[in-house]
Amino acid sequence: GAGVSQSPRYKVTKRGQDVALRCDPISGHVSLYWYRQALGQGPEFLTYFNYEAQQDKSGLPNDRFSAERPEGSISTLTIQRTEQRDSAMYRCASSFPPPDTMLSYEQYFGPGTRLTVT
């Protein structure tokens, strides 16, 4: 079946603009995660959902960042009033069991959205 998809793949925006990044998880996957990956770094956790409920948003850097998953499938990560320091690769991942079970060892990652703020 299809893997995790993300759109757009590349986004260039001017400082101060809002951006919305979309993630389409694998069909039937319960959990959806957002990560941010700076150049030369590993993915850094932002937030995750079980179904439509946001379970943990402790990794969101500030209140300009928000995420939603209203129907428990597609998710949108929104960054308001973008700043140059927001430039990074934003990755989405999904897994079938929720992450509070011992079975949830595998997350399936999408290709990411490369965000550049000029």
**Which of 18-26, 65-73, 75-83, 99-107 is the region at the interface with another protein (rule: CB under 8 A)?**
99-107
- Residue where the block lists tokens 């990755």: 91
> Quick check: helix, strand or coil at residue 92?
strand
Cross-strand pairs, 67: 77
In contact, 65 and 78? CB cutoff 8 Å? yes
- Do 45 and 65 form a contact (C-beta atoms < 8 A)? no
CB nearer to another protein: pick between 25 and 82: 25
If the CB atoms of residues 13 and 109 are measured against another protein, the closer one turns out to be 109
**Shortest approach of another protein to residue 9 CB, angstroms?**
9
Under 8 Å between Cβ of 21 and 10: no
CB of 77 to another protein, least distance (A): 15
Which residues of this protein are in contact with another protein, per CB under 8 A? Answer: 3-4, 33, 40-45, 48, 55-56, 91, 93, 99-102, 104-112
